[in-house]
């Protein structure tokens, strides 16, 4: 164990959970009271709350994976994982569309937000180029810096144990980060968003494999854009 991890091991867990909780409450409050600004507040929290702790130790973003030093490996691995994700996402949407076709239009007063007569018609979402910028720089980069960069690193300081899997050391910090990532999505009051736990495992593996958040950021944005394209193709805009 390094001198740095010994020195920071005791407060690391409390620090990570406190900053996660602060961001969760801020985003939850903005969702309830300032819904139109919730996304902006989330981005600010993800990018700047960790700075409160980082500056006290003389650290910066590079200490938490925001660096292009291994961009080729990041790009290659992100592309490989995305290729594996594509058929899984498509199969999930196909199954979902088939399931909707056998459900009533409403259940217990809840009206499904998707058309029941849903068929796959390939379609690119409107203003797709704006979605690319949004998903890459407003959604994926802040979230990956916060979760895979800061939270996963600090939890690893507190819980350094783990085993190597495909070139990455995975342990309690890896799974706890994915769980916090999923729980963080409950601020929009949609239990189905807990499913992001599973892609979070891929993002976390990339972080541990390359030591940066670049690959995780690229894969995160690609998955979100692909999901948006599938939603548009199956259910319309």
| Per-residue pLDDT at 65 exceeds 60 | yes
Question: What share of the chain has pLDDT > 70, as a percent?
Answer: 88
Residue 11: pLDDT band with limits 50, 70, 90? confident
Nearest to 158, CA basis, from 175, 172, 179: 172
- CA–CA gap between residue 152 and residue 16 (Å, rounded): 8
Q: Tokens at residue 91, please?
A: 């199969």
Place of tokens 């709350």: 49
Distance of alpha carbon 235 from alpha carbon 237, whole angstroms: 7
Can you tell me the distance from the alpha carbon of 86 to that of 199, in angstroms, rounded to the nearest whole number? 12
* pTM listed for this prediction: 0.89
Q: pLDDT by residue (tens digit) across 86-118?
A: 999 999 888 887 777 676 665 545 555 555 556
Burial class (CB in 10 A: 0-12, 13-18, 19+), 23: buried
- Across all residues in the chain, what is the average pLDDT? 89
DSSP 69: T
pLDDT tens track for 174-206: 999 999 999 999 998 888 889 999 999 999 999
pLDDT at 13 exceeding the cut of 50: yes
Residues 195-221, mean pLDDT to the nearest whole number? 97
């Amino acid at each position: 164990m390094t001198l740095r991890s010994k020195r920071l091991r005791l407060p690391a867990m409390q620090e990570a959970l406190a900053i996660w909780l602060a961001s969760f409450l801020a985003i939850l409050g903005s969702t309830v009271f300032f819904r139109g600004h919730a996304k902006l507040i989330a981005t600010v929290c993800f990018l700047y709350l960790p700075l409160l702790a980082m500056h006290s130790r003389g650290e910066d973003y590079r200490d938490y994976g925001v660096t292009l030093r291994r961009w080729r490996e990041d790009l290659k691995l992100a592309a490989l994982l995305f290729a594996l994700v594509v058929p899984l996402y498509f199969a999930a949407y196909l199954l979902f569309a088939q399931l909707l076709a056998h459900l009533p239009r409403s259940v217990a007063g809840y009206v499904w937000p998707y058309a029941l007569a849903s068929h796959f018609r390939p379609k690119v979402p409107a203003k797709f180029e704006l979605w690319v910028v949004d998903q890459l720089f407003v959604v994926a980069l802040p979230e990956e810096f916060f979760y895979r960069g800061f939270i996963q690193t600090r939890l690893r300081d507190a819980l350094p144990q783990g085993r190597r899997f495909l070139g990455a050391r995975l342990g309690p910090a890896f799974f706890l980060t994915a769980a916090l990532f999923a729980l963080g999505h409950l601020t929009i009051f949609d239990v189905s968003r807990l499913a992001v736990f599973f892609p979070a495992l891929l993002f976390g593996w990339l972080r541990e494999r390359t030591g940066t958040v670049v690959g995780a950021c690229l894969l995160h944005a690609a998955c979100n854009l692909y999901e948006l394209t599938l939603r548009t193709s199956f259910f319309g805009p």
